[in-house]
Structure 1
């Protein structure tokens, strides 16, 4: 029993001994081969990255950013040079002449306040009850006999005609609802209100003009559109609002709105 135990149980089988020998020999060989590969790579790369593409991309990015910066820097320098050139000409004769011309045009352009005698005219819609009566009356009349209901409301053309008549009468300044009117002032209807430079104003509309009262009145009285409006004001069926006053002192403030011209551009 003892001999059998010693010879069979404690001894290793042949295949186990072969695997142990293979590990003892194979492991050092793998280590040596790995070291050799690392040495060859280090020798071939000479201390640089064997995959330099990532550095090439980064260098390109930096160069691109540097080029953009140089463009911006050049643009800044060009603008700085222009500013210096313009600043150097501020005191020359051309600039002085332009400034004198601007100063002369400020008053006729409406950029300075004006005060003096003139006219104050108020326009307003017809009384609401007369409009209601006209609507009811029109129901029983033939179309050609009906009153035009547009005649019961102040329209932009009524205001524009009056303003133009005042200019023709020599007005040096005109205001609507206290707002200075200049050559580019826009007047248009929008619903029940009139827009002046885009700002809505409800009726009554007070139009004031600085100038010779007699000349202003004569021009207003001669205008055909204003005369038609005054006819409707005297008509007991319509009674459009009209009030005209001769004033010893009219105050017209300076225009303080936008002076840039805005216009449509063709498509295409």
Structure 2
């Protein structure tokens, strides 16, 4: 009977195999672990930045992306300057026409009669300067901001609108105004009052509030016409509630210049 060789320790072998398997499992977890949110965002941001730089370079082609065109305010100021120049030129041409007309027929009785009739109508038509006792009305936006408004009000309620200016103009004409100035321009019965947002456009020129209307006439009659107008009465309610500007003042003797716009009436309709 021969002597048997010693058998290896099965428990030790199993423990060694378990350690090897555990080591391989940890290595696989490290290689295949789930990526974090930051590790996903970094490459995405890098790709987007590259696309942005590429697009910007192609669009600008080495030039400045900031526009060199003048802003809207600059355009408006330039147009107003041109309009003032044109008004001066028109006034000079009219003066030349009057002078040459008088020189062409100094002894014409017919010319003299027509000139006299024209002079009599000039004040009412607005083609001549006029002087007299004046009343001035000023309309202005409210100083409130949107976050200061009561619940029932909107931002439209704190600005002066076209209908507000028109209501004052119409009431003053009804009250017997002999001549009228809106801001720094003479206006006549055919002058159009237009507003865009809270800016006023009159004969090609743009104005911001406060809007000032001055008239020559009987101050008491003019004030009574303003007080009797229902649209102005409604406006005064917002003056009290929201702080819109409304001021009426007797401003003494003043001289208004002649109307500088065109007198050609291109269209009309019967009032309702």
TM range (shorter): 0.5 to 0.7
Q: Which residue of structure 2 lines up, in the alignment, with residue 183 of structure 1?
A: 189
In structure 1, C-alpha distance between the alignment counterparts of 2:112 and 2:244, rounded to whole Å: 52
In structure 2, C-alpha distance between the alignment counterparts of 1:251 and 1:122, rounded to whole Å: 19
The question of 1:246 aligning with 2:239 is answered no
Residues 178, 252 of structure 1: 8 Å contact kept: no
Q: Which residue of structure 1 lines up, in the alignment, with residue 148 of structure 2?
A: 133
Q: Which residue of structure 1 lines up, in the alignment, with residue 227 of structure 2?
A: 221
- SS state at 2:125 partner: coil
Measured after TM superposition, the shift of residue 188 of structure 1 is 0.6
Q: Which residue of structure 2 lines up, in the alignment, with residue 257 of structure 1?
A: 261
Q: TM-score w.r.t. structure 2 length?
A: 0.55
State which of 164, 169, 190 in structure 2 corresponds to 1:163.
Answer: 169
Q: Structure 1 regions of 5+ residues with no counterpart? A: 1-87, 139-145
Residues 176, 208 of structure 1: 8 Å contact kept: yes
Kindly provide the CA deviation profile for residues 162-195 of structure 1, in whole angstroms up to 9, marking residues without a partner as x: 0111111111111111211101211111233110
- SS state at 2:261 partner: coil
In structure 1, C-alpha distance between the alignment counterparts of 2:129 and 2:111, rounded to whole Å: 25
Q: TM-score w.r.t. structure 1 length?
A: 0.56
Residues 209, 250 of structure 1: 8 Å contact kept: no
Task: State the Cα RMSD in Å.
Answer: 2.5
In structure 1, C-alpha distance between the alignment counterparts of 2:202 and 2:252, rounded to whole Å: 26
In structure 2, C-alpha distance between the alignment counterparts of 1:159 and 1:199, rounded to whole Å: 16
Kindly provide the CA deviation profile for residues 57-79 of structure 1, in whole angstroms up to 9, marking residues without a partner as x: xxxxxxxxxxxxxxxxxxxxxxx
Question: Given the superposition, is the C-alpha separation of residues 263 and 167 from structure 1 closer, same or farther in structure 2, using an over 3 Å criterion?
Answer: closer
State which of 95, 104, 112 in structure 1 corresponds to 2:120.
Answer: 104
Question: Given the superposition, is the C-alpha separation of residues 218 and 179 from structure 1 closer, same or farther in structure 2, using an over 3 Å criterion?
Answer: same
The question of 1:149 aligning with 2:155 is answered yes
Give aligned pairs, total. 166
In structure 1, C-alpha distance between the alignment counterparts of 2:185 and 2:159, rounded to whole Å: 22
- Which structure would you say has the larger Rg? 1
Measured after TM superposition, the shift of residue 93 of structure 1 is 5.9
Kindly provide the CA deviation profile for residues 191-240 of structure 1, in whole angstroms up to 9, marking residues without a partner as x: 331101221111111111111111110011101111111111111xx110
- SS state at 1:108 partner: helix
Measured after TM superposition, the shift of residue 125 of structure 1 is 0.7
